Chain A
Amino acid sequence: MREITAEQITEAVKRMSIEAACDLPEDVEKLLKEAVATEESQFGKYSLEKIVKNVELARAEHAPMCQDTGIVIVFAEVGQDARIVGGTLNDAINEGVRQGYQEGYLRKSVVRDPVLDRKNTGDNTPAVIYTELVPGDKIKIQVLPKGAGSENMGALKMLKPAEGLEGVKDFIIKAVTQAGGNPCPPVIVGVGIGGTMDKSTLLAKKALARQAGQPHPNPEYQALEEELLVEINKLGIGPQGFGGKVTALAVHIETYPTHIATMPVSVCLNCHAARHKEAIL
């Protein structure tokens, strides 16, 4: 058994929380810069130029690029030959979030009850944590601070198998159309297909953890991602919803086997500040 301390986990989550807020990953920035060149609409181009300038300023000043520094989603892949010492995994992650959001001057955006008592917890905890046991003796931690502007535009539909590929495409396009200018386009479109209701939404979220624009390994799904990106960019929504050619930067699809009687499809949108960081301990 390889030992990993709770303190190491806390330190990594803290560092990634701050870095994610202030330093947009290069993969997303590259797509944004390409979008500036592609965009033809006056207001779309104006928005993209400001967005790119903001990314550079945030990085230089160690300031959050967006005031919505999100609720923290953590995907932890724990090697079954790794042993966490000095505390529990969830406590270590939440402590990292607490310290990161305090020391990084990030906004605390979590309320302790969704309906009856929407009081701010004051330290941005708890994180939303998904843990998976995997082979090996390492722990991989992905941190995705998720803003609510884009999260609110997510959608799920339990399709009938008879609706087929056309049904899947129609639903995804409809979800992006309905989101319109709300999720801070240009967006990254995470799609989860298959499994069960819950599994498809998780896949859609996990799709956002992929390097932006990295295609699906299966060539047929890769072609579907490309086709959907073209179709979405014909919608005319454009940057910030002001109209334009760049509504999405990328479409990421994840799939899972499913029951003979169902075909769940989930769409999870990420804003242009598509923050994601990862560390391997």
Chain B
Amino acid sequence: MTNIKKITTPLTDEVVKGLKAGDQVSISGVIYTARDAAHKLLTEAIQAGEELPVDFKNQIIYYAGPTPAKPGKVIGSCGPTTSGRMDAYSPLMMEQGLKGMIGKGPRSKEVVEAMIANHVVYFAAIGGAAALIADSVKEAEVVAFDELGPEAIRRLVVEDYPCIVAIDSEGHNLYELGVQQYKIVD
């Protein structure tokens, strides 16, 4: 865990290809929060041929719904939610040019296949370490679906957001590799 790769958004194919499962990464720049309800609305808009409220080309989506900001704070606690719930929507988002996803927990086979096809990287943040993570968020602004409350799309400006490459753009998967390594069969 000595070499931390620093990357900035928007991502390029070159940067994505340089990230390997197990790399420790620190992200700076703009990322967008979106979770269940926002993904449903985005998917409906894409299917209806409507313009999306955010251009996701080369961007990172962060699966998160923060707690409300206390006075004087930019944001409340802001850790990752379970990514698997977004699996049904993610391939379509990758077709829109999405290059990165941040969440927690494993992804489906379909998502990994779409990641390989579209050169996309999946980062894992530490679930439940939300107070700590909030420190890396420097700006936060709702940019779409305000009515969804915690599920609105927020544009975050982050500095040195800490995460790990969980699944890289070639499909190497830390969840599978790590568990295989530590599984004890009697």
Chain A contact residues, CB within 8 Å of chain B:
40-44, 46-47, 50-51, 53-54, 57-58, 61, 63-69, 105-109, 118, 120, 122, 148-149, 152, 180-182, 184, 234-238, 240-245, 271-273
Contact = CB atoms under 8 A, between A and B. Distances in A.
Given A54-B131, A108-B149, A244 B105 contact: no
Nearest to A59: B131
A100 to B, nearest CB: 13
A206 B93 CA distance: 40
Interface string B169-186: 000001101111111111
A277 to B, nearest CB: 17
Contact of A65 (B84, B128, B162, B182): B128
Interface size class of B (residues with CB under 8 A): 35 or more
Given A66-B128, A242-B178, A105 B70 contact: yes
B179 A67 contact: no
Contact of B164 (A65, A235, A242): A242
Interface in B49-83: 64-70, 76-79, 81-82
A51 B129 contact: yes
Contacts of B81: 67-68, 149
A272 B178 contact: no
Interface string B102-131: 001110000000000000000010111111
Contacts of B1: 42, 46
B126 A107 contact: no
Contacts of A235: 179, 183
A54 B129 contact: yes
A244 B182 contact: yes
A242 B149 contact: no
Contacts of A57: 131-132
A272 B175 contact: no
A61 B134 CA distance: 12
A65 B130 contact: yes
B77 A238 contact: no
